[in-house]
Chain A
């Protein structure tokens, strides 16, 4: 697809919109349909689209493999760290109600952090899997 002008231009227009929609789905998840799982897959799908049209080397310039492989455990660490923060503030594991003074604010902070962890792990895992398949030679 190296010389297909329509696909290349359309991808350039679509990529920021897909990423914006992914962020909207992530941060609007408290009030509408959405959350870390959906947003993670949408963000990864945007990057995969770019990689399919422009080639793997162009994609690895935007998102280098080492960054992806660091983000896979980072998301789980953020999630588990939010749980540990519940311990440190005197509650149970994954108890957000003491993270801030106001209970609603504390719950929303906890949910935000947890969803962020999910977003990071899901999107980077999908990208890492795509890299692993696409970077392999045909035997």
Chain B
């Protein structure tokens, strides 16, 4: 394979690789970190990677936003935009729900660290 072909392969898959990096970074934060707010931020990272996963295949090079106007013939795909648009607002509503749970946990246990909550439960 020549150099241009290899570079094209790289450019063609770069979006997907960044999506995967964001996704596993979110996964790592959720699994490795004990702080519950940090876990929720990790979940948000995972979620934004899915936004990118949906939107980036819909893009056409040289295209424009899917608003029909004279003089344009190439538009990006509107369907993933619709799905992700609603998912973002639902995402912030569920993030608020998670934060509300964290606030209640903090009031009940006095901490939001997973390890401290587990050790307190073991004492009881």
The residues of A with any CB-CB pair to B shorter than 8 Å are 31-33, 35, 37-38, 40-41, 122, 125-126, 129, 132-133, 136, 139
Given contact pairs A122-B89, A125-B93, A129-B96, A33 touches B103 in the complex (Cβ within 8 A): no
A94 smallest CB distance to B (angstroms): 15
Tell me the B88-102 residues at the A interface (CB within 8 Å).
Answer: 88-89, 92-93, 96, 99-100
CA of A40 to CA of B93 in the docked complex: distance in angstroms?
A: 13
Q: Are A139 and B107 in contact, with the CB atoms below 8 A?
A: yes
Query: Are A139 and B93 closer than 8 Å at their CB atoms?
Result: no
A133 with B103: in contact, given A31-B67, A33-B65, A33-B67 (CB under 8 Å)?
A: yes
Chain B residues at the A interface, C-beta cutoff of 8 Å = 65, 67, 85-86, 88-89, 92-93, 96, 99-100, 103, 106-107, 110
Q: What would 20 more interface pairs be, CB under 8 Å, given A41-B89, A133-B100?
A: A31-B67, A32-B67, A33-B65, A35-B85, A37-B85, A37-B86, A37-B89, A41-B92, A125-B93, A126-B92, A129-B93, A129-B96, A129-B100, A132-B100, A133-B96, A133-B99, A136-B103, A139-B106, A139-B107, A139-B110
Number of residue pairs A-B, CB distance < 8 angstroms:
28
B65 nearest in chain A by CB position: A33
Find the A residue at minimum CB distance from B106: A139
Chain B residues near A136 (CB-CB < 8 A): 103
Which chain B residue lies CB-closest to A136?
B103
- B94 smallest CB distance to A (angstroms): 11
**A5 vs chain B, min Cβ distance (A):** 32
Chain A residues positioned under 8 Å from B107 (CB to CB): 139
Q: Which residues of B contact A122 (CB under 8 A)?
A: 89
Chain A's closest residue to B88 (CB) is: A37
**Cβ contacts under 8 Å, B110 to chain A:** 139
